[in-house]
Amino acid sequence: MNSERMDLMEKQKTSKCYGWRGKILRVNLTAKTIQEEDLPEELMTGYIGGSGLNARLLYDLLRGNPQTDTLSPDNPLIFGCGPAVGTNFPCATRFTVTAKSPLTGIFGDSNAGGYFGIQVKKAGYDHIVITGASETPIALLIKEGTPAQLIDAQDLWGRDTYETDALIEKKFGACESARIGPAGEHLVRYANIFSGRKRVGANGRAGMGCVMGSKKLKAIIVSGSGTVPVADKNKLDELASRYREIWGKGPGTAANAEYGTLMLIAQIGAEVGIKNDQEKISEEQLNRYDLGEFITRYKRGKTACYRCPVGCSQKWGIDEGPYRGESGDKIEFGHYLHLGPLLGVFDFPSVFHLSDRINRLGMDCTQFGWNLAMAMECFQRGILGSEATDGIELDWGDVEMISRLMEKVASRDGFGDILAENIPEMIRRLGPAATPYGFHTKGMTFPYNRKEVLPMSLASSVAARGADHMKGHPFSGLVGAQEMLERIFGPDIPAEITDPRSPVAKGRVVWWHENYKMVMDSLGLCFIPIAATSIYGEPLILIEELGEIYQAITGKDAGTLFAAGERACQVEKSFNALLGISRKDDIRQGTTRGQEDPIHHPGMLDEYYFYRGCSTEGMPTRKRLEESGLADIADDLARAGKVANRECPPIEDLVAHT
Ligand code: SF4
What integer best gives the mean pLDDT of the chain? 95
Closest by CA to 523, choosing from 9, 14, 90, is 90
Q: Which residues line ligand 1 (CB under 6 A)?
A: 91, 93, 113, 256, 304-305, 308, 310-313, 526, 528-529
Render pLDDT for 381-425 as a digit per residue (tens, 0 to 9): 999 999 999 999 999 999 999 999 999 999 999 999 999 999 999
Claim to verify: residue 627 and residue 504 sit in the same structural domain:
yes
CA–CA separation, 543 and 517 (whole Å): 10
Question: Exposed (0-12), middle (13-18) or buried (19+): which is 287, by Cβ within 10 Å?
Answer: exposed
Amino acid at 625: L
Say whether both 430 and 455 belong to one domain: no
Q: How far apart are CA 560 and CA 159, in angstroms?
A: 45
Distance 3 CA to ligand 1 centre (A): 39
- As beta bridge partners, residue 274 has 279
Q: How many CB atoms sit inside 10 A of residue 513's CB?
A: 22
Measured CA to CA, the distance from residue 368 to residue 272 in angstroms comes to 17
pLDDT range class, residue 1, cuts 50, 70, 90? very low
Both 431 and 455 in one domain: the answer is no
What pLDDT, on the 0 to 100 scale, is given for residue 658? Answer: 58
Task: Say whether both 326 and 460 belong to one domain.
Answer: no
Whether residue 13 is predicted with pLDDT greater than 60 in this model: the reply is no
Q: Are residues 258 and 214 in the same domain?
A: no
156 in any annotated domain = yes
Share of the chain above pLDDT 90, in %: 91
Residues 550 and 609 in one domain: yes
- Domain CATH for 285: 1.10.569.10
Q: Is there a domain that residue 3 lies in?
A: no
Look at residue 9 and tell me if it is in a domain: no
Q: Is the dihedral of CA 525, 556, 652, 49 positive or negative?
A: negative
Q: Which atom of ligand 1 lies closest to the CA of 306?
A: 5
The answer to whether residues 169 and 175 touch, using CB atoms and an 8 Å cutoff, is: yes
> Distance from the CA of 311 to the center of ligand 1, in angstroms?
6
Confidence of residue 450 (pLDDT cuts 50, 70, 90): confident
Checking if the pLDDT of 2 tops 90, the result is: no
Cα–Cα distance for residue pair 533/526, rounded to 1 Å: 12
Measured in angstroms, how far is the CA atom of residue 117 from the centroid of ligand 1? 13
CA of 44 to the centre of ligand 1 (A): 25
Pair (534, 455) in one structural domain:
yes
pLDDT at 598: 80
Q: Ligand 1 centroid vs 177 CA: distance in angstroms?
A: 18
Residue 309 alpha carbon, nearest atom of ligand 1:
6
Q: How far apart are CA 258 and CA 386, in angstroms?
A: 43
CB 545 within 8 A of CB 537: no
Position 432 in a domain: yes
Nearest Cα residue to atom 5 of ligand 1: 91
**Which among 247, 470, 528 is the best mutation to test ligand 1's pocket, defined by most ligand atoms within 8 Å of the CB?**
528
Residue 3 pLDDT level (bands cut at 50, 70, 90): low
152 and 271 together in one domain: no
Same domain? 468 vs 506 = yes
Task: For residue 78, give every residue at least 6 positions away whose Cβ sits within 8 Å of its Cβ, in sequence order, or none.
Answer: 54, 57, 58, 97, 98, 99, 127, 128, 129, 130
Same domain membership, residue 433 and residue 293: yes
Closest-CA residue, ligand 1 atom 2, reads 312
How large is the average pLDDT for residues 322-326?
98
Whole-angstrom distance, CA of residue 119 vs CA of residue 104: 30
**Is 7 among the domain residues?**
no
CA of 91 to the centre of ligand 1 (A): 6
- CATH number for the domain spanning 622: value is 1.10.599.10
Give which of 337, 445, 343 is closest to 396, Cα–Cα. Answer: 343
Q: Pick from 93, 96, 261 the residue to mutate for probing ligand 1's pocket: most ligand atoms within 8 Å of its CB.
A: 93
Say whether 626 sits in a helix, a strand or coil. Answer: helix
Give the pLDDT of residue 258.
Answer: 96
DSSP string, 516-557: HHHHHHHHT--HHHHHHHHHHTTT---HHHHHHHHHHHH-S-
Which one of 85, 116, 247, 308 would you pick to mutate in the ligand 1 pocket, going by the greatest count of ligand atoms within 8 A of its CB? 308
Q: Residue 362 falls within a domain, yes or no? A: yes
| CATH number of domain containing 158 | 3.60.9.10
> Do 80 and 200 fall into the same domain?
yes
407 C-alpha vs ligand 1 centroid, how far in Å? 29
Q: Span 162-178, mean pLDDT?
A: 97
pLDDT of residue 599: 81
Q: Find the 369 Cα to ligand 1 centroid distance in Å.
A: 24
Q: Which atom of ligand 1 is nearest to the CA of 91?
A: 5
- Which of 223, 242, 262 is the C-terminal boundary of a domain? 223
pLDDT at 567 over 80: yes
Question: Can you tell me which atom of ligand 1 is nearest the CA of 93?
Answer: 5
Q: What percent of the chain has pLDDT over 70?
A: 97
Question: Roughly how many angstroms between the first and final C-alpha of the chain, as a whole number?
Answer: 14
Task: Spell out the residues 6+ positions from residue 380 whose beta carbon is closer than 8 angstroms to its own.
Answer: 275, 394, 396
Average pLDDT over residues 86-114: 98
Residue 234: its pLDDT value, please? 98
What pLDDT is attached to residue 15?
Answer: 53
Residue-wise DSSP of 305-344? -TT-SS--EEEEE--SSTTTT-EES---HHHHHHHTGGGT
Compute, in angstroms, the gap from residue 256 CA to the centroid of ligand 1: 9
Ligand 1 centre and the CA of 72: distance in Å?
34
Q: Ligand 1 centre and the CA of 634: distance in Å?
A: 38
Vertex 288: Cα angle to 285 and 289 (nearest 5): 105
What's the count of helices (H) and strands (E) in the chain, helices before strands? Answer: 28, 17
- Give yes or no for residue 639 having a pLDDT over 50: yes
By most ligand atoms within 8 Å of CB, the mutation choice from 81, 88, 91 for ligand 1 is 91
Pocket test for ligand 1, best of 247, 258, 313 (most atoms within 8 A of CB): 313
- With a cut of 70, say whether residue 14 has pLDDT above it: no
CA of 521 to the centre of ligand 1 (A): 13
Buried b (16+ CB within 10 A) or exposed e, 409-425: bbbbebbbebbbbbbbb
Which among 312, 315, 520 is the best mutation to test ligand 1's pocket, defined by most ligand atoms within 8 Å of the CB?
A: 312
Give the integer Cα–Cα distance in Å for 520 and 561: 10
Residue to probe by mutation, ligand 1, list 305, 313, 530, most atoms within 8 Å of CB: 305
Cα(120) to centroid(ligand 1), Å: 18
CA of 140 to the centre of ligand 1 (A): 26
The runs of H, that is alpha helices, within 141-232 are 161-172, 182-185, 208-214
- In ligand 1, the atom with minimum distance to the C-alpha of 94 is 5
Domain end among 386, 411, 437? 437
Chosen domain end from 406, 437, 468: 437
* Residue 10 is assigned to a structural domain of this protein: no
Per DSSP, helices labelled H in 48-96 are: 50-62
Q: Is 107 helix (H, G, I), strand (E, B) or coil?
A: strand
Q: Which residue puts its alpha carbon closest to atom 8 of ligand 1?
A: 305
Instruction: Tell me the CA distances in angstroms from 318 to 263, 349, 608, one per residue in order.
Output: 20, 7, 46
Q: Closest ligand 1 atom to the C-alpha of 308?
A: 6
Domain count, the chain: 3
Closest CA to 402 of 367, 377, 378, 368: 368
Report the length, in residues, of the chain: 658
Q: Is 443 within a domain?
A: no
Residue 179 is predicted with a pLDDT of 98
Show the domain range for 52: 18-223
Ligand 1 atom nearest to 304, measured from its CA: 7
15 vs 8: CA distance, rounded Å: 10
Is 556 a residue whose pLDDT tops 80?
Answer: yes
Mean pLDDT of 84-105: 98
Tell me what pLDDT residue 594 has.
76
| Residue 6, pLDDT score | 53
pLDDT of residue 114: 96
Kind and range of the H or E element at 88? none
Return d(Cα 560, Cα 556) in angstroms, integer: 9
Predicted confidence (pLDDT) per residue in 343-389, tens digit: 999 999 999 999 999 999 999 999 999 999 999 999 999 999 999 99
List the beta bridge partners of residue 317.
327
Same domain for 431 and 459, yes or no, is no
Nearest atom, ligand 1, residue 303 CA: 7
> How many CB atoms neighbour CB 511 within 10 A?
28
The 10s digit of each residue's pLDDT in 461-520 is: 999 999 999 999 999 999 999 999 999 999 999 999 999 999 999 999 999 999 999 999
Distance 267 CA to ligand 1 centre (A): 19
Strands 217-223 and 138-143: parallel
